[in-house]
A and B are shown apart, each in its own frame.
Chain A
Amino acid sequence: DTGVSQDPRHKITKRGQNVTFRCDPISEHNRLYWYRQTLGQGPEFLTYFQNEAQLEKSRLLSDRFSAERPKGSFSTLEIQRTEQGDSAMYLCASSLRGGRGEYEQYFGPGTRLTVT
């Protein structure tokens, strides 16, 4: 499978715990995005990486959230001291700058987080 993959697919955690999600983009895609989708809403942008550089963060990304993309390959999104309001689907997308299909973002299957 050469698509975007995310792990885990589902995560249930208790309030106050830390969680980490992983995204593996399509090979050679240099752009990587994280979005968050709550029930009944459209996805909202969280952060963007070009290669290993984090170039934009949404104001939705509080100090409890941190994202990395070491070596410009996979990315991780960590949420510290989770709150019930963090319950959502976390989506990762990747795209390639330049070449055919440069404008299309390919989405992974998402990680559904439930904070109890």
Chain B
Amino acid sequence: QSVLTQPPSASGTPGQRVTISCSGSSSNIGTKPLNWYQQLPGTAPRLLVYANDQRPSGVPDRFSGSKSGTSASLAISGLQSEDEADYYCAAWDGSLNDWVFGGGTKLTVL
């Protein structure tokens, strides 16, 4: 059971906008910034969003992050087939003194 809760799956058709949620508590998302990672099949994770809504250089602006209270979301607009991957949220937990991850969301592009 992961400390951060994500839906196990999500899907969309090319061009659509999809969102992936990540729910936590006051000891992590509620008071600490959230990061998002993309893991393409058979590859290492890649940083997509840090500090809730900041994109590293090289990440397309189709990817955007937001946070409200103890929940956060990753939105992907203009969905492309190459976006098919697992997506993970992560935050520092001040009570556990541990980095915690969501269980991951498998995104399928139909």
- Is the pairing of A and B real? no
